[in-house]
Amino acid sequence: MRNLYIWLNILLELSFLWSCAICMKFSKFVSQQNKVLNHARVKRGWQWESLNVLEEKEVEQKLYVGQLKSDSDKQDGSIKYILSGEGTGNIFTMEEDSGKIFVHRKLDREEKSFYTLRAQAINRLTGVLVETESEFVIKILDINDNKPKFIHGPYIAEVPEMSPIGTSIIQVTAVDNDDPAAANNARLVYSILQGQAHFSIEIKSGIIRVASQIDRETKDHYHVIVQVKDMIGNAGALSATATVTIQVSDINDNAPKFQQKIYDMSIIESASVGEIVGVVLADDIDLGKNAEITYSIEEKGHFSMFNITTDNITQEGIITLNKLVDFERTIRRYHIQVRAENKYKSELNDTATIRVYVVDVDEPPVFLRKEYYMEILENATVGSHVGTVTAKDPDIANRIIRYEILQNSYSSSFEIFSNNGSIITSKPLDRETDPWHNITIAATEAQHLAHVSVVEVYIQVIDVNDHFPELQNEYDIYVCEKTKAGEHVQTISAFDKDPVIGHQFYYMIPPEEISNANFTLIDNTDNTATILTLRNGYSLQETPIFYLPVIISDNGIPSLSSTSTLTIQVCNCGTNNDKGFCRRRGLFWIFLNSGAFIAISVFSIILLGLAVIVHIKCQKSPAHFTEKGEDLKENIVKYDDEGGGEEDTEAFDITGLRHKTVMRKHKRKRIIRNDIQSMYRLSLGLGPDVTIFREFLSEKLEEADTDPCSLPPDSLHKYTYEGTGSTTGSLSSLDLSTVDIDPCLENYQGWTHE
């Protein structure tokens, strides 16, 4: 059975081989037939070889390329071959008789890979085309003469640290100018010369990938050298290299770490809340946001005594005081635990312990209160106790404290006992002038004067009812003559300088005035009162003014009262009985409407008469002419200027006025009334009574009738009084020393003729 199976396998194999041989022969036959058919289709009567030129081949004179030949050429020289097309003449030439083609210089395939030419075959004798013009191509065969070149450089890439193996990073690309169809001249392969430990490259595509885990904290960049070769890297291949810079980017994979596990810090006991205690720092070797840290205090130990904040610039943890500390207390060392964690991954964290020691300092005194409020009555006597301030030395030494008032505008009103801080008044107080007094008290350690604390003391002066109520205004009150009993006259109100809330004023007429009162007063119980008439009609002639006393009391403790007298004027209010008419005219108009107008007229006449008397008396002042003069007679000479020199004598001849000197006759003495008051008395308004004045005028009239020197009524003399005692004399140009003066002029001493 086994042998049969072997023989069957042998027969099957033989049959398979026989069938394959038959197929191969058939295929070869079909191929030959197709080749024959193709040659028969393209055949044109031309015969030529494969025309190729190897590039970069050195040519001394000419180099044979190939031959074109017509199948009708019998090689008897009857056919002439003509070449035309690209490079004819300078690159390619053809022998006319044989059709052989030659190249005359070195060619570069990378410049031009083929040349297209045309050939003709003509009969030399007839010039007739033996073969139609045919086009052919001369190919430039490639050699591996070009190195591959990297493009798109320089190459810089980035890959996150800890990327998985095989992660694509970057692709490098090189090109080769050789013919990719010619052997393997342009077939490139890539490899890594430097950096193989961490990176790999695909041999054909040039894609660089991660070959092992990369840690940025170990190395943050790599320079990978990549090589490319042509000819698939075989012997004789050309190569080029490029450097790929690979940056390793950071990922948040590291936890912050404190530089120390235990920190020792100190704070003075006088430190205020918010003062910095110290700074801690945790390092995170990641970069940028991945290294951002936040700090916190874990709820262990004395966590409430301190705060911690994060400085976003320096990434430091700043510890500040949250509550005041005191060395004198039992706790002088505090323990807190701080935590530093990654801002974006809280699972990445670290902790440290901080010990804070309180340092003792010599502190200034401390007042038991931040500020003091005190009260005192405004009528308190000087030396009255206001209040006490107290300060203590917070140190264990508990030194003695001294007090004083710092000078300001209110400090002079108070004094303080330096040993116990008791404040007393040193001046009387007035709430209406200063309701509050603000003073500053300083407490100083007796042994350390530099240790000073101050506190503000606000002293309120409590009001005492020490001001009497007063009328709110100075009222201008009128009552009409035709007023009826019970009519409203005026509403009055009061005020009090004491600032009592809910002031209540009470009004009344003194009891002794009620029986004689022409008016009554009604208290309105709203801090006002109303004055009413008690009778029908008032007389402006009989009683033009009434006075009404009013008692005003307040509700203070003790109650104070004052009496004010109101003036009520009677007024003729006209037909409409309008008191506003009286207010517009005033008191002076009321008197003008009465008999006082006549009295004022008489008084004015008396004053006018007194003025005349004074004028006459002034004429009798003791001024005499010291020189003799001529008689002026009844001639009138008037000068309007102060002397015209020679023109005065030319204007009027005064020779006729001169005569011998006349002796003056003695004149009887005039009687001077002593009861006539002087001008000074007149100026004071103290004039004589009418009877004496009339008697004086009668005597003067009689004296004028009996005086021989009195002037006739038809004479006109004008005199101007120049005063007495003048050292300059008259300003007139007339020389009075040469004029005889009438003896009657002696009575008018001090007067000059004008």
pLDDT tens digit sequence for 203-222: 999 999 999 999 998 999 99
- In single-letter form, the type of residue at position 333 comes to R
Report pLDDT for 692.
65
Cα 562 to Cα 95, 269, 500, 531, 565, distances in angstroms:
159, 64, 17, 18, 10
d(CA 507, CA 551): 6
Can you read off the two tokens belonging to residue 288?
């940028």
- Average pLDDT on 254-283 reads 92
Q: Does residue 622 have a pLDDT over 90?
A: no
Write the DSSP symbol of residue 747.
Answer: G
Q: In the sheet where 401-406 sits, what is the strand order?
A: 371-377, 452-462, 436-445, 401-406
What is the signed CA dihedral for 440, 444, 449, 453, rounded to 10 degrees?
A: -60
Cα angle 131, 133, 135; round to 5: 125
- In single-letter form, the type of residue at position 303 comes to F
Kindly indicate the confidence band of residue 678, based on its pLDDT and cuts at 50, 70 and 90: very low
d(CA 267, CA 465): 57
Q: Does residue 665 have a pLDDT over 90?
A: no
Report pLDDT for 495.
84
* Helix, strand or coil, per DSSP, at residue 400: coil
Report pLDDT for 501.
64
d(CA 284, CA 296): 16
Report pLDDT for 369.
92
Residues 380-437 have pLDDT tens digits of 899 999 999 999 988 777 888 999 999 888 888 999 999 999 999 999 998 888 889 9
Report pLDDT for 199.
95
Kindly indicate the confidence band of residue 153, based on its pLDDT and cuts at 50, 70 and 90: confident
Q: Does residue 626 have a pLDDT over 50?
A: no
Domains of the chain: 46-141 (2.60.40.60), 149-249 (2.60.40.60), 258-359 (2.60.40.60), 366-462 (2.60.40.60), 470-592 (2.60.40.60), 617-753 (no CATH)
Report pLDDT for 659.
45
Report pLDDT for 586.
52
- In single-letter form, the type of residue at position 549 comes to P
> Percentage of the chain with pLDDT > 90?
30
More confident call, 341 vs 619: 341
Q: Does residue 689 have a pLDDT over 70?
A: no
Residue from 68, 63, 40 nearest 53 by CA: 63
The backbone region for 89, taken as left when phi is positive above 0, alpha when psi lies in -120 to 50, beta otherwise, is left
Report pLDDT for 595.
52
Report pLDDT for 393.
86
d(CA 657, CA 653): 9
Q: Does residue 3 have a pLDDT over 80?
A: no
d(CA 608, CA 716): 25
d(CA 126, CA 95): 19
Among the ranges given (47-51, 306-310, 724-728), the one the predictor scored with the smallest mean pLDDT: 724-728
More confident call, 513 vs 590: 513
- Average pLDDT on 30-36 reads 45
Contact 162, 251 (CB under 8 A): yes
* φ, ψ (nearest 5 deg) of residue 546: -120, 150
Report pLDDT for 1.
47
Q: Checking DSSP bridges between strand 371-377 and strand 452-462, what pairing results, if any? A: parallel
**What's the helix, strand, coil split of the chain in %, to 5?**
20, 35, 45
Contact 520, 535 (CB under 8 A): no
* Range list of β-strands (E), 343-451: 349-359, 366-367, 371-377, 385-388, 391-392, 401-406, 414-416, 422-425, 436-445
* Helix, strand or coil, per DSSP, at residue 680: helix
Report pLDDT for 469.
86
- Average pLDDT on 164-178 reads 93
Can you read off the two tokens belonging to residue 340?
């530093």
Report pLDDT for 677.
47
Report pLDDT for 387.
95
d(CA 65, CA 62): 9
Q: Up-side HSE of residue 554: CA atoms within 13 Å toward CB?
A: 24
Kindly tell me the burial class for residue 405, based on how many C-beta atoms sit within 10 Å of its own C-beta (0-12, 13-18, 19 or more).
Answer: buried
Kindly indicate the confidence band of residue 14, based on its pLDDT and cuts at 50, 70 and 90: low
More confident call, 409 vs 257: 257
The neighbour count for residue 172, using CB atoms within 10 Å, is 21
- Average pLDDT on 611-619 reads 79
* Range list of β-strands (E), 347-395: 349-359, 366-367, 371-377, 385-388, 391-392
Kindly tell me the burial class for residue 157, based on how many C-beta atoms sit within 10 Å of its own C-beta (0-12, 13-18, 19 or more).
Answer: middle
Contact 78, 124 (CB under 8 A): yes
Kindly indicate the confidence band of residue 342, based on its pLDDT and cuts at 50, 70 and 90: very high
In residues, how long is the chain?
A: 754
Contact 173, 183 (CB under 8 A): no
- Average pLDDT on 726-742 reads 48
- Average pLDDT on 464-479 reads 83
- Average pLDDT on 118-145 reads 86
d(CA 457, CA 1): 133
d(CA 56, CA 107): 6
Q: Does residue 668 have a pLDDT over 70?
A: no
- In which residue are the tokens 């009075």 written? 736
Residue from 206, 225, 211 nearest 167 by CA: 211
Residues 285-337 have pLDDT tens digits of 998 899 999 999 998 888 889 999 999 999 999 999 999 888 877 688 999 99
Q: Checking DSSP bridges between strand 92-94 and strand 52-54, what pairing results, if any? A: unpaired
Q: Does residue 672 have a pLDDT over 90?
A: no
Residue from 143, 150, 146, 122 nearest 134 by CA: 122
Kindly indicate the confidence band of residue 453, based on its pLDDT and cuts at 50, 70 and 90: very high
Mean pLDDT rounded to a whole number for the chain: 78
* Helix, strand or coil, per DSSP, at residue 407: coil
Q: Does residue 277 have a pLDDT over 90?
A: yes
Q: Is the dihedral of CA 593, 596, 598, 604 positive or negative?
A: negative
What is the signed CA dihedral for 39, 42, 48, 51, rounded to 10 degrees?
A: -100
More confident call, 605 vs 194: 194
> Percentage of the chain with pLDDT > 70?
75
* Helix, strand or coil, per DSSP, at residue 59: coil
Is the pTM value of this prediction over 0.85? no
Report pLDDT for 619.
65
d(CA 736, CA 657): 12
Strand partners, 341: 294, 349
* Range list of β-strands (E), 11-145: 46-48, 52-54, 63-70, 79-85, 92-94, 100-103, 114-123, 129-141
Kindly indicate the confidence band of residue 8, based on its pLDDT and cuts at 50, 70 and 90: low
Q: Up-side HSE of residue 637: CA atoms within 13 Å toward CB?
A: 16
Report pLDDT for 278.
94
d(CA 350, CA 557): 76
Report pLDDT for 535.
86
Residues 488-497 have pLDDT tens digits of 888 999 888 7
Kindly indicate the confidence band of residue 584, based on its pLDDT and cuts at 50, 70 and 90: low
Residue from 488, 499, 494 nearest 474 by CA: 494
Report pLDDT for 578.
74
d(CA 232, CA 148): 12
Among the ranges given (73-77, 384-388, 628-632), the one the predictor scored with the smallest mean pLDDT: 628-632
Cβ density class 284-317: b for 16+ within 10 Å, e for less:
bebeeebbbbbbbbeeebbbebbbbebeeeebbb
Q: Does residue 569 have a pLDDT over 70?
A: yes
Report pLDDT for 503.
75
Cα 56 to Cα 110, 148, 186, 683, distances in angstroms:
10, 18, 17, 151
